[in-house]
Amino acid sequence: MSKPAADPPDNGEEIYDILLVDDQPIIAEAIKRMLVTEPDMRFHYCQASDRALQLAHEIQPTVILQDLVMPDTDGMQLLAAYRNDAALSEVPVVILSTKEDPHDKSAAFAAGASDYLVKIPDRIELIARIRAHSRSYLSQKQRDELLQEIKIVHEQLKAVYAQLHQSHQELEKLSCMDGLTGISNRRHFDTYFSQEWLRALREKISTSLILVDIDYFKLYNDHYGHQAGDLCLQAIAQALADTLQRPGDLAARYGGEEFVVLLPYTDAKGAENIAKQLLDTVKKLAVAHAQSPIDAHVTISLGVATLTPDSSVAPSDLVQIADTALYQAKEQGRNRYVLADISLLPKAPRPKAKVKTRKPR
Ligand SMILES: [Mg+2]
């Protein structure tokens, strides 16, 4: 192995390392002389075939010039060894042969040689081929490294995206949830009602809504304290949500001790059934209410309204007639449901309105 033939240029240009593997020092001397004037080329020489792989690992050549006939081995065996070595498999190998033999040439290319030259090659041609193979090898190497970096960054981005997606879903869930009772909050109800209203309008199907109020809840709070009041709200909320069996049905906290139940694709008969079940479920909870003038346990009143949306009614109309029905249920002694009177609806056509619901009492 020789020392570098010339000092490399210090202008940021690529340096090409050429490893010649040939048993004849006279060939090495001839080729070294051809390359010595080239400032971008460093010449390395290996005489013994059994050291070729090790030297190639040390030097990391951009081109290997490989003698075809050597003692103990031949150039084709070494070529196969380079190709089977992960660190060398892409390094261009130029076979140096003593004769122009089509059979050898074809075998060399089939085994992965990049080029085939007859000794001793013409200087201009040798330099041109070394440069072309080295450039192509180095730029391919850079592309591979870049691709590898891109793959790593891509994997990192994927992991970050997955985390963001999960956080977003958790936030979304939290922003839809009522903090005290764990069921849907008013905000989520408004959004959901808006969507379902439009769907019912398109498909001309009836939608039902039930407003639920806990009877004498102020007396309950005054008597048992606010902590017990919160537990009572949680129990009622959970009971309402548990009563709803269909995936499209929604129970939400409307505010204070009021709840709302939305029943898409539900007619008046179906809504009345649900109202009965809700009354029954709360009754079975049997939460003691010593101050209630009407029962020993906590009870609820319900206003039940059903509409098939058209352009003459707005979502707020459904809430309004349910509210009127709830008021009537209270007037009639509480612990009951009242079905809304649809004739109370405004008659005149009105522009389409967004969901606008009243403030809870
Ligand atoms: Mg030889």
Report how far residue 110's alpha carbon sits from residue 67's, in angstroms, rounded to the nearest whole number.
17
**167 three-state secondary structure:** helix
The one-letter amino acid code at 71 reads: P
Express each pLDDT in 101-137 by its tens digit. 999 999 999 999 999 999 999 999 999 999 999 999 9
67 CA to centre of ligand 1 in angstroms: 6
What's the mean pLDDT when you consider all of the chain?
Answer: 92
Q: Are residues 141 and 200 in the same domain?
A: no
Number of folded domains that form the chain: 2
Express each pLDDT in 309-356 by its tens digit. 998 899 999 999 999 999 999 999 999 999 998 877 765 454 444 555
- Is a pLDDT exceeding 80 seen at residue 66? yes
| Residues 6 or more apart whose Cβ sits within 8 Å of residue 334 | 215, 216, 294, 299, 301
Q: Are residues 332 and 195 in the same domain?
A: yes
22 CA to centre of ligand 1 in angstroms: 6
Q: Are residues 107 and 246 in the same domain?
A: no
In a domain, 7, yes or no: no
Which residues have beta carbons under 5 A from ligand 1 (an ion)? Answer: 23, 67, 69
31 CA to centre of ligand 1 in angstroms: 14
**pLDDT value at position 357?**
54
Q: Are residues 193 and 319 in the same domain?
A: yes
Specify the DSSP element, H or E, that contains 195.
helix 186-203
Q: Are residues 128 and 203 in the same domain?
A: no
Specify the DSSP element, H or E, that contains 124.
helix 123-175
**Residues 32 and 4 sit within 8 Å (Cβ to Cβ):** no
Express each pLDDT in 143-180 by its tens digit. 999 999 999 999 999 999 999 999 999 998 889 999 99
**Residues 217 and 229 sit within 8 Å (Cβ to Cβ):** yes
In a domain, 10, yes or no: no
Q: Are residues 138 and 194 in the same domain?
A: no
**pLDDT value at position 74?**
87
Q: Are residues 140 and 247 in the same domain?
A: no
69 CA to centre of ligand 1 in angstroms: 4
**pLDDT value at position 353?**
47
Q: Are residues 90 and 206 in the same domain?
A: no
Q: Are residues 121 and 211 in the same domain?
A: no
**Section 236-263 average pLDDT:** 96
Express each pLDDT in 17-49 by its tens digit. 999 999 999 999 999 999 999 999 999 999 999
Q: Are residues 138 and 212 in the same domain?
A: no
In a domain, 133, yes or no: yes
The CATH number that applies at residue 58 is 3.40.50.2300
Q: Provide the residue range defining the domain that includes 81.
A: 16-145
Structure tokens at 18: 């050429």
Q: What is the DSSP letter of 179?
A: T
Q: Are residues 56 and 190 in the same domain?
A: no
Would you say the pTM of this structure is higher than 0.85? no
The CATH number that applies at residue 298 is 3.30.70.270
Task: Tell me which residues are annotated as active site.
Answer: 257
